[in-house]
């Protein structure tokens, strides 16, 4: 049976019990992942948490362009770059999502709307949260910054 690129990650940890990892969509992932929703790129504690997670056998991270206005992705990207001497990018599974407009993305959408440039693909979910399927915005969110920018499209 062929091994996934992420399976190499677990070879560093000796005998990994079966309950500590899963194979999902052909990727070997730790049973527990790290959600980076409130991770701040300036926080030494958040950086240390990511490094500790990897040292403990975690290779699954969840982030998004709107988490801390992109700061979560930038922090995770920097930490993965720091680890590149010891780990390959394929050792890690990074989950992201696009389309939610918050922070600077929401402000830019409001400015476009004020200029009369309204997309039919825009949905206002609430006062402070909009969602879009506008292709240009999705590509910018997925490829324009942070973790995705390093290994995109």
CATH number at residue 41: 3.20.20.100
pLDDT digits (tens, 9 = 90+) for 56-91: 999 999 998 778 888 999 999 999 999 999 999 899
Domain that residue 41 falls in: 7-150
Give yes or no for a contact between 67 and 73, defined as CB atoms under 8 angstroms apart. Answer: yes
Count of domains forming the chain: 1
Q: State how beta strands 129-132 and 100-101 pair.
A: antiparallel
pTM here? Answer: 0.75
* Whole-number Å distance between alpha carbons of 92 and 88: 8
**pLDDT of amino acid 144:** 63
Q: Is residue 85 part of a domain?
A: yes
Residue 71's H or E segment, with its range, is: helix 71-82
Question: 47 pLDDT band (50/70/90 cuts)?
Answer: very high
Determine what percent of the chain is predicted with pLDDT higher than 70.
Answer: 92
Question: 1 pLDDT band (50/70/90 cuts)?
Answer: very low
């Amino acid at each position: 049976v062929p091994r996934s690129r992420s399976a190499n990650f677990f070879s560093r940890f000796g005998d990994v019990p079966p309950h500590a990892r899963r194979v999902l969509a052909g990727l070997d992932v730790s049973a527990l992942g790290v959600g980076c929703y409130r991770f701040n790129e300036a926080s030494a504690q958040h950086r240390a948490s990511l490094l500790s997670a990897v040292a403990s056998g975690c290779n699954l991270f969840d982030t998004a362009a709107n988490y801390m206005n992109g700061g979560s992705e930038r922090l995770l990207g920097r930490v993965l770059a720091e680890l590149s001497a010891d780990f390959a990018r394929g050792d890690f599974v990074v989950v992201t999502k696009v389309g939610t407009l918050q922070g600077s993305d929401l402000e830019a959408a409001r400015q476009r709307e004020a200029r009369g440039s309204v997309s039919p693909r825009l949905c206002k979910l609430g006062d402070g949260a909009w969602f879009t399927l506008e292709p240009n915005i999705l590509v910018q969110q997925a490829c324009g910054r942070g973790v995705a920018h390093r290994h995109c499209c």
